Structure 1
């Protein structure tokens, strides 16, 4: 709804624009409406009884105009466009070093989709911003009230579409260099709220402005054509120009967009809050100041103005979501990345702010006790420095018609830039010289001239430096454009002071004081803990292990030492970077008062969440034992693990379940007199559960052989414990009898299970494998059977000798077209699914195969047979040695012969040894003697296990 046109001091300008529209557009139609509408918006905003101060976020011109306005006519009430629930946190800004961001955080949602969790809203604050100057003035001046009037953080998400996806943030800008990328992530996934989002909402308009302005991005256009002219402009001119720009961008935005509706609702919200406050306090509008973005200053909603007859906007109540508020560190690159600004633009704005303050002589406002304060800054007390502001007149006509103010080349400044960038480039590996400094100087002037600028801007200088120094490749870690950003102001990084931290963060810093480190620094610091010589450091060690579990990687990193079940290192070494990860530590403080409380909540959430599984519950149990040592919590989480296991309908997590429950059982058996009740319940429940699912898992295509092997491993390795707790072995036998797999790997697993239960002797198992090798139709599938036998080592580790025998036989007998394609698959399978099985195979192969190359020629595999050819027994061969051994110990031989029903007398053989019929058998079958000889020489042999 458009308000009626006011008859103000802009009549002449309106007529000029109407005539220009008629001349350029061949008729005063659409273009005339737009141009005159711009003037109407300016007239309407400046004619409002409540003075409106239009700003652009992180703009030195806006900040400088704000300082001048506050000192010329100090207001008693300031209405600020910022989330109204941020009000209690603003006082903590005095304990921080800017830039920082005010944050609202919620991890437990009520009224929002669960997929949005956690929710986070941030509002960055820099010194070179009008909002910070207003906040500092209001908080440091007695009798001044600061009122935040924008929608609450809860309404930010209430007004977002419910499409089960988090609300989108502003488009991020690509940062260059590793440092920039790291600092750009300081805000995390938070939704940004900025004061004065002044950027065209019409892509074609922005492209048109960039093209005709001869600039590469929007930040450079704004700096060249708005910031610099307005820095030295008077207050009335500043207001009129800013409202004009806001009105232009507002009228040329795409109609009917979702963001347009949100912007108008925000404006209705803010005017409603302003009216409510004025009605409640009775404040005089003449003593009030409304600070908002220039885009909102040109608002045309029905509720605009104090005299609007339209009823107030209907504000919906907040949800029951519990919001936590605090401050997090920010940086220039983080602000640029979140709000789609060009890299280095905020740093350049900060440099321009310092330069403008020095040139103008005004004293900016700063909160008392602000960290990083400069000597020129002092606390403002609202003392007027000039006469009150008079009624606004038409300043737009003169400003738009006047040529740019002469601003000659500052050779000293440009020369210092060129010398410093060459020095900085040489430090970073570039072969720069004095000639490059001269080239950058001349190229900067040339680029400024080509772009119709009286003097080179920092953007011109950066382009010239890239052209003259970077050449073709980037030899160093940082490129030249990043070096220019560092030179022109750097990526200033804020820090939240100790007093502004949440209780948890302060507690962490206090408990780590015995380490003797300044943990607020952003550098990585090394902490050495001798727990044997300094037992008092055990508390620091426990806290560091908990922080490693809760904080992102890199915040605390163990270099030496480990903390696993049943083991504690006596010496530890840590790399600590808590100052660099201050945001993560602060957000951890939103979840609880102490680290132990947060860890307990997260472990419960992992075990009781909608995505919880038996594996996640067992992992939570293990973490509770290692980190918290809370038997009560362990029993609770263990009972939950039993419930989850009983309710699972798949066996995808069977390998992980087996690995974790084995480790937990071993820990409890070594540290407690008896197993906890939940461990016994888990074993009995798992035994019945896997017996029930075993027949289906054997035939299901989606169930892998590794999962089936893990199920059998659970059943066989924990069978004795399960039977002692009341389980029935007939469950397992019945499950195997009902299993009829078709896939070769699962068939091999079933054979191995039958062998473990004594239903399939090793000789018959060997015969089946030889039958597979002798069948040409089954030969291509034999590698799959072998893969099944490899996975069978999990439930039946005693099959290791047989697996080595079968694998060696396969390597010897399989044809190359079958063997060669299978070998890479075998290697990848063992590496991915069976890393714990490889050492078992290697040890068994080491026992079976000869240890030297010379012994390989005469080595005979213990499982290979020989032809029944009689040969004289020689005492220098293994068979001869066995023959002599038998002759020296005749009683066992005679007993075996009598048992077999063989009668005979001992005779003397050709080499002088006595013998019998048994000795004759040795001569006829020397292979058996060779095997016995090998058995006598080795500590363990497959034959010995087979005999067992």
Structure 2
């Protein structure tokens, strides 16, 4: 095979120095065929790379249409050598082809893969490509006994040159160089050849197949008669494609024999610098995409430009960063580079200078710089006519209409549901969550509140959401239709009534009337035959939220009213019996459900349902055999609702805390009555005195027995509440005057000093001063 016809350019994926040298080399060579390490599956969409609206970083997405989770990304930045080669070939009209092992073979072996889509280099960066720049622990887990040239093939060269690892050495030698030396590719190929000759034979079948397919593609191009074939591949693969070292074609055919095949599709997807960084776990990632972008821009005085950006980031966060700081930081970076015998400051020197001068040695501001500048927050864009699923097009149109752009930055929105546009935004985000496309998160959206007219969202677009959208396309061609179909499927699959009611709440938030109708019918059928009281109680809170948000969103939620009334009726009838003969764990579960049901009924504010609920609680207090924890909660419910007179409460307390009652049962009753309610105990003197008298009556042995239970109850009180109780006990407890009022001396309250404030307070309130 003629070596004069084949010109191999071994590059580092996403390297600006490699890209600059490659462009000059291609311009000098003027090839008549261009072979690039990449997926042949995507050649049909390759022409879009030169579209005016294509803005890197972008990625080629190759996936199995029937199972979109089986997918692979091939990211490109503006400074990626493969991206520059693709654009050169298309602009010059040169036949441009991908030559890596097609994903229709690679994905065929991943039928059982349930993980996230893999992130490829421009042609699957395996551990070899990663190893060219120092290896990556996210992709490899080499044993300590494994030869160093397999873990980090450039590590020895880097150590000899005074660098800490192969990544920094490669960056200094190749990527940060200011010249456009094309001879570097010859040197790289010779270095890789020497390393591979000393390395043990490769036993990775996937990598062997990849290189065999690359050689197969190269042979096909030579057979077509091309005279100047440019091959752009990862530096590690360069020796394997050298015409002087190629094995027989039969050898490669035997390696490729038996490969399975699946149907694949390809599309372009926006990408982010965050996912291009090595910190994201991407095997072929770079330390700082933003730094490489600056190097690619060919700006002079890159140190000045970079540190000026650092200062801008700090100022935007109200941190001090003056021009004098920038000047001093530049001087320090240049001095560090000179001490290390480097012609120009690199990212390591600039990072140290920024930390020392601009951040005053503090890691907090430096973390901000690293997050916002070193990685960068750029999100690419693809042309509107690029191939995409109908669901993706619908989302794109909705984002434009609702002025809700997809960005890689974290954005927070305070949506006022009384405004049509904000309401539509909320519905879109809820529908996407139902489709398992979590673009927005309302739980982390910011401050909360009791108002029902506001929702707080935190949104951030991630590249893998494109795959989730494609996967969701099987439910429908629009977001609304797909979400409706997804909810109906979940309705059919729901195992419990609580799951159905929770799903109904989400469907109502997403304004899916057809899905709501199906869910209501399913809930009615399930509730009409349900005899499990805890299951009915677990279902009620979601139904109450449904009614609440139905009113806020101007959605007719009254159709669930009959369901709620039926569920509440069944709960109130069956709860007293369900409270009998329970162990502590079962009673604790039912206690939690009781609190949730009470809160749900408070939301509904229906007098008829509340009356039935209170009757049910009174029945619990009057029956024997009920767990004392639940009986204590029932008394508390009636007490809070004003359904117990003072003398009735006193009799109940005296009965439940009498010496005749087992100490553990009395402690459980107190827990049920007082859990998370320290203020009740502080301000209700009747209750305080009753509890105090009961505790004082215990012997030392009995007190030791009930102390763990009492501590469990009092641990639910706020710190300030416990402090007030401690101060009251220290004073010996409150005494009561006539009528139950606390005497001034006992309360420690200074009425004379308080009286001095009253005239001013009355003036502020516009009231007549008290005598």
Same fold (TM over 0.5): yes
Match in the other structure for 1:349: 292
1:814 matched to 2:694 = yes
Structure 2 unaligned spans of 5+: 136-149, 433-437, 610-616, 640-644, 697-702, 719-733, 742-771
Q: Give the whole-Å Cα distance in 1 for the aligned partners of 2:412 and 2:70.
A: 32
Query: Following superposition of structure 1 onto structure 2, how do residues 219-234 of structure 1 map, counting pairs within 5 Å?
Result: 219-227=167-175, 231-234=179-182
| Offset at residue 63 of structure 1 (A) | 2.1
The aligned runs of 1:733-752 (5 Å cut-off) are 744-746=628-630
Please name the residue that 2:667 is paired with.
Answer: 783
Question: 1:216 and 1:814 mapped to 2: Cα distance?
Answer: 72
Counterpart CA distance in 1 for 2:509 and 2:306 is: 57
Match among 548, 552, 555 for residue 439 of structure 2: 552
Could you tell me which runs of 5 or more consecutive residues in structure 1 were left unpaired when the two chains were aligned: 1-43, 111-117, 172-190, 359-411, 532-536, 725-731, 756-760, 794-799, 832-853, 862-948
Pick the aligned partner of 2:205 from 261, 273, 277.
261
Query: Aligned ranges for residues 170-319 of structure 1 at < 5 Å?
Result: 196-197=129-130, 198-200=132-134, 202-203=150-151, 207-227=155-175, 231-234=179-182, 237-250=183-196, 260-272=204-216, 283-286=224-227, 288-299=229-240, 305=246, 307-310=248-251, 311=253, 313-314=256-257, 316-318=259-261
Shift of 1:508: 4.6
- Contact 1:101–1:125 at 8 Å: present in 2 too? yes
State whether residues 508 and 549 of structure 2, in contact with CA within 8 Å, keep that contact through their aligned partners in structure 1: no
Q: 1:661 to 1:588 in 2, by over 3 A?
A: same
Give how far 1:740 is off: 5.6
Residue 298 to residue 555, structure 1, CA distance change in 2 (3 Å)? farther
Measured against aligned partners, the alpha-carbon deviations of 1:604-652 in whole angstroms (never above 9, x if no partner) come to 4544558x6433321221232343342x422433455578889999988
Q: Distance in 2 between matches of 1:352 and 1:466?
A: 21
- Within 1, Cα distance between the matches of 2:549 and 2:368? 53
Report if the CA contact (8 A) 1:271-1:304 is conserved.
Answer: no
Contact 1:697 1:703 survives alignment (8 Å)? no
Q: Aligned equivalents of 2:243 and 2:306: distance in 1?
A: 54
For residues 822-863 of structure 1, what are the alpha-carbon distances to aligned partners after superposition, in whole Å with 9 as ceiling and x for unaligned? 7774466589xxxxxxxxxxxxxxxxxxxxxx99732249xx
Distance in 2 between residues matched to 1:106 and 1:76, nearest whole Å: 33
Give the Cα separation in 2 of the matches to 1:792 and 1:470: 45
Cα distance, 1:768–1:216 mapped onto 2, change above 3 Å: same
Q: What is the CA distance between 1:456 and its match in structure 2?
A: 4.0
Tell me if structure 1 keeps the 8 A contact 2:675–2:713: no
Indicate which of 79, 98, 121 corresponds to 1:148: 98
Instruction: Render the CA deviation track for 1:662-711: whole Å, top value 9, x for unaligned.
Output: 45578999958876997799789989998997768657659624256479
CA distance in 2, matches of 1:225, 1:674: 71
Counterparts of 1:704-715 in structure 2, within 5 Å, are: 704-707=589-592, 709=594
Q: CA deviation at 1:55?
A: 2.2
Conservation of the 8 A alpha-carbon contact between 2:40 and 2:100: yes
Where does residue 327 of structure 2 map in the other structure? 437
3-state SS, counterpart of residue 82 of structure 1: coil
1:520-559 map, 5 Å: 538=420, 541-548=423-430, 550=432, 551-553=438-440
Note closer, same or farther for the CA distance 1:151–1:812 as it changes in structure 2 (3 Å cut): same
* Residue equivalent to 2:268: 326
TM-score (norm 1): 0.55
What secondary structure, in the 3-state scheme, does the structure 2 residue paired with 1:309 have? helix
Structure 1 residues 425 and 635, CA gap change in structure 2 (3 angstroms):
closer
Q: Who is 1:916 aligned against?
A: none
Q: 1:484 to 1:709 in 2, by over 3 A?
A: closer
1:759-786, Cα deviation, whole Å (9 max, x unpaired): xx99999767534423277345423113
- In the alignment, is the contact (CA less than 8 A) between 2:379 and 2:407 conserved in 1? no
Q: CA deviation at 1:511?
A: 4.7
SS in 2 for 1:775: coil
- Of 195-204 and 307-316, deviating more is 195-204
SS in 2 for 1:58: coil
Q: How does 1:619-768 map to 2 (within 5 A)?
A: 619-630=502-513, 632-641=514-523, 656-664=538-546, 704-707=589-592, 709=594, 744-746=628-630
Deviation at 1:131, TM superposition (A): 1.0
1:337 matched to 2:220? The reply is no
Is the 8 Å Cα contact of residues 200 and 253 (structure 1) preserved in structure 2? no
1:327 Cα shift? 0.8
Q: How does 1:274-673 map to 2 (within 5 A)?
A: 283-286=224-227, 288-299=229-240, 305=246, 307-310=248-251, 311=253, 313-314=256-257, 316-318=259-261, 325-331=267-273, 334-338=276-280, 339=282, 345-355=288-298, 413=301, 416=304, 420=308, 427=315, 429-430=319-320, 434=324, 437=327, 440-441=330-331, 443-474=332-363, 476=365, 485=374, 492-500=378-386, 502=388, 503-504=390-391, 506-508=393-395, 510-511=397-398, 538=420, 541-548=423-430, 550=432, 551-553=438-440, 581=461, 583=463, 586=466, 589-590=469-470, 591-592=472-473, 593-604=477-488, 606-608=490-492, 613-630=496-513, 632-641=514-523, 656-664=538-546
Between structure 1 and structure 2, the one with the greater Rg is: 1
Q: Equivalent residue of 1:124, what SS?
A: strand
CA deviation after TM superposition for structure 1 residue 426, in Å: 7.9
CA contact (8 A) 2:591 2:630 kept: no
Residue deviations 1:273-299, cap 9 Å, x none?
Answer: 666x669xx732535444321222333
Q: Pairwise mapping of residues 858-873 of structure 1 onto structure 2 (< 5 A)?
A: 858-860=738-740
The root-mean-square deviation of aligned C-alpha atoms, in Å, is 6.1
Question: 2-side partners of 1:530 and 1:744: how far apart?
Answer: 44
The Cα of 1:328 is off from its aligned counterpart by: 1.8
Q: Residue 594 and residue 483 in structure 1: after superposition, are their counterparts in 2 closer, same or farther (change >3 A)? A: closer
- Secondary structure of the 2:319 match is coil
Partner Cα separation in structure 2 for residue 629 and residue 709 of structure 1:
31
Report deviation, 1:132. 0.9
* Bigger shift: residues 699-708 or 613-622: 699-708
Match of 1:186 in 2: none
CA spacing shift, 1:829–1:103, aligned 2, 3 Å: farther
SS in 1 for 2:483: helix
Distance 2:245 2:197 in 1: 17
Instruction: For residue 223 of structure 1, report the CA deviation from its aligned partner.
Output: 2.0
Q: Deviations over 1:348-377 (max 9, x none)?
A: 33333333xx9xxxxxxxxxxxxxxxxxxx
| 1:125 positional shift | 0.8
Distance 1:120 1:345, change over 3 A: same
- Separation in structure 1 between the aligned mates of residue 717 and residue 110 of structure 2, nearest angstrom: 49
CA distance in 2, matches of 1:479, 1:539: 33
The offset of 1:123, in angstroms, is 1.8
Aligned equivalents of 2:270 and 2:167: distance in 1?
25
Decide which of 63, 75, 78 is 1:127's aligned counterpart: 78
Per-residue Cα deviation, 1:198-239 (whole angstroms, up to 9, x for no partner): 3355346555444433334543210223446795433xx444
Which among 59, 74, 81 is matched to residue 101 of structure 1?
59
Q: CA deviation at 1:492?
A: 4.7
Q: Which deviations, in whole Å up to 9, do the C-alpha atoms of 1:482-509 show, x marking residues without a partner?
A: 79859xxx66543345444855455455
Is 1:84 matched up with 2:40?
yes
| Corresponding residue number in structure 2 for 1:369 | none
Q: Distance in 2 between matches of 1:353 and 1:711?
A: 59
Q: Corresponding residue for 1:138?
A: 89
**Equivalent residue of 1:541, what SS?**
helix
Secondary structure of the 2:504 match is helix
More displaced stretch, 416-425 vs 540-549: 416-425
1:629–1:575 Cα change, 3 Å: closer
CA distances 1:427-458 after superposition (whole Å, capped 9, x unpaired): 463476748835752x4454334434345445
C-alpha distance in 2 between matches for 1:668 and 1:446 = 66
Name the CA distance, whole Å, in 2 between partners of 1:769 and 1:603.
Answer: 50
Residue 481 of structure 1 deviates from its aligned partner by 6.6
Q: How does 1:825-904 map to 2 (within 5 A)?
A: 825-826=712-713, 829=716, 857-860=737-740
